Amino acid sequence: MARISGVDLPKDKRVDIAIAYIYGIGRTRGKQIIDEAQINPATRVKDLTEGEIGKISSIISTQEMKVEGDLRRQIQANVRRLRKLVGRLRPRRGRSTWAGYREAAPYSDEDAQRKERFVREAGHSRLAWDLGANDGRFARAADADNVIAVDGDERVVGELYTALRGEGSRTILPLVVDLADPSPGRGWRGVERRRLEERGRPDLVLCLALVHHLAIGRNVPFAELVRWLRGLDSRLVIEFAGRDDPMVQRLLAAKRAETHEDYGRDQFERALREAFELERQEELSAGTRTLYLARPRV
């Protein structure tokens, strides 16, 4: 039996085939070794002389080839170094409109806590979607087995992912999605990577501090937004900010005066009631925002 570099080569194999059984030596390198040792590659391992075995071992040794244990240890060390390097990498965050929104939010800590309580009291869900999740405050508050936290701001989603990873959270998945221009189904016949609505329907949807951004910032009519939400066939926690809200005034200031004359609480509630039954509503202390808990009309 020929033992080379700690490996017993299969005795009935041709030597040019058997040498590749040594970890780190492939067919090309094995042929080079056999040629240098001046051994007929068709020779069976069992027919090798002690001298020929010694030649092969000597060539591997003198060329300082990394094989077997030495090669495995080198690969493992390289993998450890790469893991450490990747672990230290931090993405360069670009400009963001909504990073730090919590500090700049136009409502008090008391109202933020009331929103958290309202979300918790919406009840348990298997899968919740938090649309416009920002820093994930309300995604964390939801009584849900799993939450998809959606936001169109890449930097915000990146920071949320980093925070959740540091917390060890495995129940909240942050995703970058532009709700006004979402990715369609892609791949063959659009089914290899499905659009968001086809990746598992939620039984609770949170739309907090979102309606005015879509209605004013992206010109989505109330009726269209509500129709899309109704299509998800889930319970809904939604927030409406009136025209006198500081954020709404900021958005309206960038538009022509006549563009959003129909933006108002009555118009929003009318659209909402056509598709949903309102179970509960609560006005926040600032007086400019209202929370609604709604269930799809059957």
Give the span between the Cα atoms of 131 and 84, in whole angstroms: 34
Average pLDDT of the chain is 90
CATH number (3.40.50.150, 2.40.50.140, 3.30.200.20, 3.50.50.60) of 106-296 reads 3.40.50.150
For residue range 124-147, list pLDDT tens digits in order.
Answer: 999 999 999 999 999 999 999 999
Give the whole-angstrom CA distance, residue 289 versus residue 169. 30
pLDDT tens profile 255-280: 988 889 999 999 999 999 999 999 99
Interval 66-85: pLDDT, tens: 777 788 888 889 999 999 99
Distance CA 41, CA 27 (A): 11
Helix (H) or strand (E) holding 73, with range, is: helix 68-88
Q: Do domains 3-88 and 106-296 have the same CATH topology?
A: no
First to last CA, the chain: 79
**d(Cα 228, Cα 183) in Å, to the nearest integer?**
15
Q: What is the mean pLDDT of residues 35-55?
A: 90
Residue with structure tokens 């008090």?
108
Average pLDDT of 179-199? 89
- 105-124 pLDDT, tens digit per residue, is 666 889 999 999 999 999 99
pTM: 0.69
CA 64 from chain centre, in angstroms, equals 44
Domain boundaries, the chain: 3-88, 106-296
Confidence of residue 92 (pLDDT cuts 50, 70, 90): low
Q: 73 is written with which tokens?
A: 């240890």
Contact 200, 127 (CB under 8 A): yes
Band of the pLDDT at 292, cuts 50, 70, 90? very high
Residues facing residue 294 across a β-bridge: 236, 278
Closest C-alpha to 265, from 294, 241, 230, 238? 241
> Residues for the chain: how many in total?
298
Give the pLDDT score at 100: 59
* pLDDT > 90? residue 215: yes
pLDDT above 70 coverage of the chain, percent: 94
Q: Could you tell me the fold of the domain covering 3-88?
A: Helicase, Ruva Protein; domain 3 (1.10.8)
Confidence check: pLDDT of 104 > 80: no
68: DSSP letter: H
Residue 66 or 20, more confident: 20
